[in-house]
Chain A
Amino acid sequence: MNESGIRQLVTFKIEEDEFGVDILKVQEINRMMNITRIPNAPDFVEGVINLRGKIIPIVDLRKKLGFPGKEYDKSTRIIVVELEGIVLGFIVDSVSEVLRIPNSTIEPPPSIIKGIESEFIEGVGKLEDRLLILLELKKVFTIQEHRSLEDLNMN
């Protein structure tokens, strides 16, 4: 969030829903690449990729947010983000654009949006003709993940 109250977001799509994440968190956007599956990993972990010599986990955002699975295609992208020192990528249907929206258009999340848990949502941006769901990446990828990993260890 900068002083003038303008936020810069990278927006992407899953199904018909449009999402936004803070551009400062985004390291790069890649086309789909070869993913090595990890056995016994949580369901939403798609596997790992080789990003210029570094091994990076890839999460299927569709699974994470409760959307049905979908074949990857030409427009499938991997968004690589850095969250508190951990670099990871997540798969989205397509990346749309970089958007600047004033903070004033962002409203707190309604209790539920199409089944997506509201704790993952930071707010909803109202644009002229559409809604933009702002994802709280930290929550999407940390708290839940730790719980799932613990579950995994328990099993």
Chain B
Amino acid sequence: MSNQSLEHEEMKEIIDEFIVESSEFIENATQDIVSMEAEQDDEIINSIFRAVHTIKGTSSFLGFSVLSNLAHKAEDLLGLVRKKELDMSKEIADALLESMDTMKLLIEDIKTDYTEKQETEQLIHKLEMLANPDRKPLGEILVEEKIITKKELDKVLEKQKQENKKIGEIVLEEKLITDKQLENLLNKQKTKKEDQTIRIDVKKLDEMMNLVGELVLGKNRLNMVKNMAKRDISKSSVVDNLDEVTNYIEVITNELQLSIMKARLVPLSKLFNKVPRLVRDLCNSFNKEVELKITGEETELDRTLIESLHDPLIHIIRNSVDHGIETKEERAKKGKPEKGTLSINAYNEGNNVVIDIFDDGKGIDIDGLKKKVIEKGLMSEHEINDMTEKEIMNLIFIPGLSTAKRISSVSGRGVGMDVVKTNIEKMNGQVYVDSMKNQWTKISIRLPLTLAIMGALIVEIGPELYAIPLNNVIELVKLNREYIKMVDKNEVLMLRKEIVPILDVARIMSLPDSGKEKYIVICKIGDKTLGIKVNTVVGQEEIVIKSLGEFMGNIKGIGGASIRGDGKVILILDIPAMISDRYMEKINKRREETLEYKYAV
């Protein structure tokens, strides 16, 4: 950087700021590196990485190329440690600490006269070597290839020290290896492992996903044509061929769809990485002690879902630390270990990903919750007494409710769990809670792997076909009027001694009641089971979800649309929204009544 451009006072200010900021970063990173040696921690490595990354970016922007280059090399090495491709060995820690020291000196240089005087060539070489561990010492390769034994290698290495020769030369002299072998090995040593990943614009992936979506539609159409041909044309080799080629295309399309879908998946660790820090800060501000256990962070989920999961997850964790886990004193009184436990566990279940957030805190106070719901006029005592404990617990997700006695900066403002639920349902997911008073609370989030394509049951309700997402469906039963009873003006189905309420989809959707229903689709949303009467079931299909567009906005009970093989548009039922609407109806009614009552008084 020339002194000329520094005439600008502004530039000088920026650089001064950079010096202060970078010195701080280097100081912190140095401490972090030391602590990393004792214990590998994702959060610490991330913070070192960010520090170095920031220094690299700013110094390059300001034109301090020596510093930026050094930071760049250190970042490369850190990146490998972060990706767990390398362990934070003593050599790596040493090199990183040396880099920090050199960076510090460079900053000093910049501070005095805006020039970088430090020699960095050797250090950079060291960093490069460490970042490229595939270039193993020849000795190691020899042992690995079982050409010499470990003992022989030790001897050779000793000899190397005395005679100051290259290992290759020594093993040749000792006749441990032939010329040809050595040559091969040297080549092997040189070929470095090629980078197996490329960065790709998400837009390109989205585009591919869209195209595959179209392809799936085309495939479905081909299938229909094939079935038509099979029906209309009697035995012919053409039909057989068509059958064969359709099956082939079906398999390939499914695989292509799966692999593109997988390309969009990212491990949950991307999200979970932020949790330890969050919990630490929360513990500090609420003066609590919490041990955090995270498992299953390698579970993968669609990128967009990970992004939208961020806020709900953080909210749940905050709630757990703030309202769930008790203070040390309280825990001691209850005979619980002083340190609370918060565990986050992610795993795959079929085509879904489940995330359980568990805390061993005070659990949900069902009586308190009941009282609150009645107090706020959200439900009547009669209604609530009809509900199971689990149903009552899940009332924490209804809007306008907060059971926290005190309002803190992070939770307890009455907005929260309902927003969590809405956000998760927007992602086609479900959330429910289970708890044991004074023992624990478990909040489970269930999400589909991807949003773009899903399995669906195609059914006829009223005059039209609809798609019910398969992840809502648990079984299909024949409709037998004998087993349908009326309870409180609503139909229920007696299913194996269980009472399953029937959701009147036709009424919700203002469809004419056809009276032609022959089946009941049993769905499970959260911990609620319910049935939907349908005329017929056409079958199971992979559908591509398309939005109804801005113009139509949100239509109650419709989650989107898809195009079937025959080109006809089919609507996707949004069952979670329908039942929450049903709940809302009840709640709104109750609210109006209380309001009227208030005014009447």
Residues of A bordering B, CB below 8 Å: 34, 36-41, 45, 47-50, 53-57, 85-88, 141, 145, 149, 152-153
Contacts and interface: CB of A to CB of B under 8 A. Distances in A.
Given A40-B509, A149-B553, A55 B548 contact: yes
B511 interface: yes
30 contacts: A34-B568, A36-B570, A37-B463, A37-B464, A38-B555, A38-B571, A40-B555, A40-B556, A41-B552, A41-B555, A45-B552, A47-B569, A48-B548, A48-B561, A49-B569, A50-B568, A53-B214, A53-B563, A54-B546, A55-B546, A57-B548, A57-B551, A57-B552, A86-B550, A87-B549, A88-B549, A141-B551, A149-B552, A153-B553, A153-B554
Contacts of B511: 39
Nearest to A88: B551
B510 interface: yes
B217 interface: yes
Nearest to B568: A34
Contacts of B554: 153
B557 interface: yes
Contact of A36 (B217, B549, B550, B571): B571
Nearest to A53: B214
A152 B558 CA distance: 14
Contacts of B571: 36, 38-39
A38 B561 CA distance: 10
Nearest to A155: B556
B337 interface: no
Contacts of B555: 38-41, 152
Q: Name the 8 nearest CB pairs between A and B, nearest first.
A: A39-B509, A36-B569, A149-B553, A50-B563, A57-B551, A55-B546, A50-B569, A86-B551
B567 interface: yes
Given A40-B510, A40-B557, A55 B550 contact: no
A39 B563 contact: no
B558 A38 contact: yes
Interface in B542-601: 546-558, 561, 563, 567-571
Contacts of A45: 552
A108 to B, nearest CB: 28
Nearest to B547: A55
Given A55-B547, A57-B549, A87-B549, 6 more contacts: A40-B557, A49-B569, A56-B549, A57-B552, A85-B550, A88-B551
Q: How many B residues touch the partner, as a band?
A: 20 to 34
Nearest to A87: B549
B66 to A, nearest CB: 49
Contacts of A85: 550
Contacts of A39: 509-511, 555, 557-558, 571
A86 to B, nearest CB: 5
Contact of B561 (A36, A40, A145): A36
A49 B214 CA distance: 16
Contacts of A38: 548, 552, 555, 558, 571
B542 to A, nearest CB: 16
Interface of B: 214, 217, 463-464, 508-511, 546-558, 561, 563, 567-571
Given A38-B548, A86-B550, A55 B563 contact: yes
Contacts of A56: 549
A45 B555 CA distance: 12
Nearest to B509: A39
A56 B563 CA distance: 12
A10 to B, nearest CB: 20
A56 B547 CA distance: 10
A145 B550 CA distance: 11
A45 B553 CA distance: 12
Contacts of A50: 563, 567-569
A57 B569 CA distance: 11
B451 to A, nearest CB: 16
Given A38-B552, A41-B555, A86-B549, A55 B569 contact: yes
A36 B568 contact: yes
A53 B217 contact: yes
A88 B214 CA distance: 21
Nearest to B464: A37
A49 to B, nearest CB: 7
Contacts of B508: 40
A145 B551 CA distance: 8
With most chain B CB atoms within 10 A of its CB, the pick from A48, A49, A56, A88 is: A48
B557 A55 contact: no
A141 B549 CA distance: 14
A88 B427 CA distance: 26
Contacts of A86: 549-551
With most chain B CB atoms within 10 A of its CB, the pick from A50, A86, A141 is: A50
Nearest to A35: B569
A85 B549 CA distance: 11
Contacts of A47: 569
A53 to B, nearest CB: 6
B504 to A, nearest CB: 13
A69 B67 CA distance: 76
A147 B431 CA distance: 33
Contacts of A49: 569
B218 to A, nearest CB: 9
Contacts of B550: 85-86
A152 B551 CA distance: 13
A57 B555 CA distance: 13
Nearest to A153: B554
Contacts of B568: 34, 36, 50
Contacts of B509: 39-40
B551 A36 contact: no
A61 to B, nearest CB: 15
A140 B567 CA distance: 29
B386 to A, nearest CB: 27
A41 B464 CA distance: 15
Nearest to B556: A40
A55 B561 contact: yes
B552 A36 contact: no
A38 to B, nearest CB: 6
Contacts of B546: 54-55
Contacts of A88: 549, 551
A41 B568 CA distance: 18
Nearest to A54: B546
A53 B214 CA distance: 7
A50 B463 CA distance: 19
Contacts of B463: 37
B382 to A, nearest CB: 27
